[in-house]
Amino acid sequence: MPEKKTRERKSKEEPTERPAEAPAPVQRQRSPENVIFVGSKNTMNYVLATVLQFSKGSSEVSIKARGRVISKAVDVAEIARARFLQNKCKVKAIEIGTEEIKEEDRKRNVSTISIVLEKS
């Protein structure tokens, strides 16, 4: 009978060098929970976020937007106030302003709005 050949397994050598450590993740500043920043999502997403803040116990919620989505922020405030909260809250303050944004070679002015809703 022929002898069976057995294979010797070569042990994998562990690398002696440690891999370079990944850079620390950039920590973003968290906004206060009662602030809703309106962007490019569906209007009803922001309405839901606003209503949820009131149901969690917030006494006031600030809805903020800038540029082209200012009209969406106004819609969010009105839909939340009139349809979902059924006039259980009121508009406490509306602030408008302008931010200067610096780009590579120029500066731009962007309009901003902040609508504060308060439980009544």
Residues 15-73: tens digit of each pLDDT:
556 556 666 666 666 557 789 999 999 999 999 999 999 999 999 999 999 999 999 99
SS3 content of the chain, % helix, strand, coil (to 5): 25, 30, 45
- What is the CATH classification number for the domain harbouring 50? 3.30.110.20
Instruction: Report the number of distinct structural domains present in the chain.
Output: 1
Average pLDDT over residues 1-26: 61
pTM summary value: 0.72
Q: Is position 2 within any domain? A: no
- On whether the CB atoms of residues 62 and 75 are closer than 8 A, the answer is no
Q: Is position 86 within any domain? A: yes
- Contacts of residue 49, defined as CB under 8 A and 6 or more positions apart, other chains included, come to 36
Domain residue limits at 61: 35-119
Q: Is position 50 within any domain? A: yes
Q: Is position 64 within any domain? A: yes
68 alpha-carbon distance from chain centroid: 18
Number of alpha carbons in the 13 Å side-chain half-sphere of residue 77:
27
Q: Is position 23 within any domain? A: no
Q: Is position 29 within any domain? A: no
